[in-house]
């Protein structure tokens, strides 16, 4: 019995220790990196949190159930935005699809379905016509999608997204950037929950600095 009680106490202490580590203040150079050249935020006056992702990334897909509830509870002084990472090939195709859906105002409605189609149904969705056919099953107007996909405005947004990724100096996804100053990911932050802990504390840091 004494051994069982001791074991239970050790487990409790271990869990408490893990929680304490997760809640500890993140250290620059360890849990996150400070960008040498800060990137201007898209909405002045608000603290910006950017998630760089790719629909073809399984880590991004598995991060969704953790980050989505967190995003829904963000305070009004925080602006969250997703930016597609584009390193060529399928990355570019999926990124352009995301930007097209965002421009059409339907991205939030079909975001999960697109992720599921690529990750679970093994659909490539790298050809714009295949994209349009699939999205039509989700209630997205096919002709409007194709016209928007090929528009000058979307091509401009694709270039902007690529430039942002360069300025953020990302090498993989999912990556997070707070207020154009601090970058971190699953590896540096210690997993999905660690990412949100680092984000929360850096948001608080930026709020206190105002």
CA separation for the pair 73, 75 (Å, rounded): 6
CATH architecture of 86-164: 3-Layer(aba) Sandwich (3.40)
What is the tens place of the pLDDT at every residue in 196-206? Answer: 999 999 999 99
Give the CA angle between residues 158, 196, 21 to the nearest 5°.
Answer: 145
User: Is the predicted pLDDT of residue 193 greater than 60, yes or no?
Assistant: yes
| Delimiting residues of CATH 3.40.30.10 domain(s) in the chain | 44-85+170-210, 86-164
Q: What pLDDT score does 28 carry? A: 96
Count how many residues are written for the chain. 210
The per-residue pLDDT for range 151-174, each reduced to its tens digit, is 999 999 999 999 999 999 999 999
Per CATH, the number for 44-85+170-210 is: 3.40.30.10
């Amino acid at each position: 019995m004494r051994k069982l009680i001791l074991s239970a106490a050790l487990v409790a202490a271990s869990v408490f220790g893990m929680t304490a580590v997760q809640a500890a203040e993140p250290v620059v150079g360890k849990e996150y990196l400070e960008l040498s050249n800060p990137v201007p935020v898209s909405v002045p006056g608000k603290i910006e949190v950017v998630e760089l992702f790719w629909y073809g990334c399984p880590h991004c897909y598995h991060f969704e159930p953790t980050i989505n509830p967190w995003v829904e509870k963000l305070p009004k002084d925080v602006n969250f935005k997703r930016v597609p990472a584009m390193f060529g090939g399928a990355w570019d195709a999926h990124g352009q699809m995301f930007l097209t859906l965002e421009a059409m105002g339907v991205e939030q409605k079909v975001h999960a379905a697109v992720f599921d189609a690529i990750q679970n149904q093994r659909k490539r969705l790298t050809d714009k016509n295949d994209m349009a056919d699939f999205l039509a099953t989700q209630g997205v107007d096919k002709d409007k999608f194709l016209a928007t996909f090929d528009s000058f405005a979307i091509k401009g947004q694709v270039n902007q997204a690529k430039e942002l990724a360069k300025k953020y100096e990302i090498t993989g996804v999912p990556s997070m950037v707070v207020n154009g100053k601090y970058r971190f990911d699953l590896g540096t932050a210690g997993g999905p929950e660690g990412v949100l802990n680092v984000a929360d504390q850096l948001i608080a840091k930026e709020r206190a600095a105002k």
